[in-house]
């Protein structure tokens, strides 16, 4: 009995409902929050018979990719390269919460949505997720040059897509990756990427913060188990490089520790901000800093909703405000892609 007690693992850190870290370094991501929310985390299996106007395909390799392909289009499709959120620590590109939005977005734009399987912290701290995002962009470049394509889904993507119109899009911490991967891509010239071109970026309620609490963090009340101050603090402590604070450039690109925004080569951006998001204020601070630096930035503020509202299928279906704001977001993304 004593031997069993000695070998029992001990929880050394926990994010309520989402994640437990043990003293041996292992991580348990079993959902222990409200059971009615579990369906949002159920994985969706690929299918090649169209549903709601799209087919769904997985592409193995590094990094693994998931392709949402509209059923038909009269012209080559733009590509939305998608980075999921989760504070760098949780979630998976196969989850229903992403599927229900990105399948709808793919059909509405229409565009080929390519979602990236990102490594998770604390086992793989940043910049691991950004490295995977950049590697995904390089995979698309190889496809555009005809150097890959052995997988059937790769052949489908190459036949359907316009690789000169790649848009990076990401939810929450995935929005951070939009900025970072776009900046890394901008360090290379057009010949390096040709025929691929990063035409734009779409950070959706990106996880941009500072070490000091913003007014919105202090005054707004979390209205969902999907985003709380405890989650924000703990995920970033686990996800950023060891010893880093929230002022790190990965989470505060508008801060003093980050490269001056005037010197960062970025494509046009559409930044989506939610009025009731805890990090509403630092999202807007990022937008203002980008504009002051001469970057091309459009801002969409969604009223009456909170962080990543469009991923909550229950709210999308049952709350008129969430439904309206989600449709407005889709229309804004479609318009942005159409103009760039």
- Known catalytic residues are 172, 277
**239's tokens:** 């996800």
* β-sheet with 11-15: strand ranges across: 11-15, 19-22, 27-28
Could you give the maximum distance between any two Cα atoms of the chain, in Å? 70
Q: What is the torsional sign of CA 121, 123, 125, 128?
A: negative
User: 264 with 183: CB under 8 angstroms?
Assistant: yes
Alpha carbon distance 320, 48 (integer Å): 32
Q: Quickly count: other Cβ atoms within 10 Å of residue 135's Cβ.
A: 14
Query: How far apart, in whole angstroms, are the C-alpha atoms of residue 145 and residue 246?
Result: 39
Provide the 3-class DSSP secondary structure of residue 13: strand
Neighbours of 63 (CB within 10 A): 20
89 DSSP assignment = T
Q: Give the H/E segment covering residue 112.
A: strand 111-116
DSSP bridge partners of 57: 67
């Amino acid at each position: 009995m004593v031997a069993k007690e000695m070998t029992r693992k001990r929880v050394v850190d926990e994010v309520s409902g989402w994640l437990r870290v043990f003293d041996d370094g292992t991580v348990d991501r079993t959902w222990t929050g409200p059971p009615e929310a579990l369906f949002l985390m159920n994985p969706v299996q690929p299918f090649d018979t169209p549903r709601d106007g799209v087919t769904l395909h997985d592409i193995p390799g590094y990094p693994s990719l998931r392709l949402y392909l509209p059923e038909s289009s009269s012209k080559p499709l733009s590509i939305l390269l998608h980075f999921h959120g989760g504070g760098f620590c949780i979630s998976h590109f196969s989850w229903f919460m992403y599927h229900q939005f990105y399948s709808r977005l793919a059909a509405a734009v229409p565009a080929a949505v390519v979602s990236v399987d990102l490594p998770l912290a604390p086992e793989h701290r940043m910049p691991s997720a950004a490295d995977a995002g950049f590697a995904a962009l390089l995979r698309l470049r190889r496809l555009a040059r005809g150097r890959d394509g052995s997988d059937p889904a790769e052949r489908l993507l190459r036949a359907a897509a316009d690789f000169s119109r790649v848009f990076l899009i990401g939810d929450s911490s995935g929005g951070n990756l939009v900025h970072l991967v776009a900046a890394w891509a901008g360090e290379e010239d057009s010949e390096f990427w040709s025929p691929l071109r990063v035409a734009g970026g779409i950070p959706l309620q990106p996880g941009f913060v500072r070490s000091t609490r913003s007014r919105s963090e202090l005054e707004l009340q979390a209205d969902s188990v999907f985003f709380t101050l405890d989650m924000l603090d703990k995920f970033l402590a686990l996800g950023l490089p060891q010893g880093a604070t929230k002022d790190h450039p990965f989470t505060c690109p508008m801060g003093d520790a980050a490269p001056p925004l005037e010197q960062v080569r970025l494509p046009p951006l559409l930044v989506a901000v939610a009025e009731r998001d805890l990090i509403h204020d630092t999202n807007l601070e990022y937008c203002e800093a980008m504009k002051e630096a001469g970057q091309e930035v459009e801002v969409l503020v969604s009223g009456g909703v909170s962080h990543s509202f469009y991923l909550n299928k229950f709210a999308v279906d049952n709350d008129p405000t969430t439904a309206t704001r989600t449709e407005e977001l889709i229309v804004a993304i479609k318009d942005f892609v159409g103009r760039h």
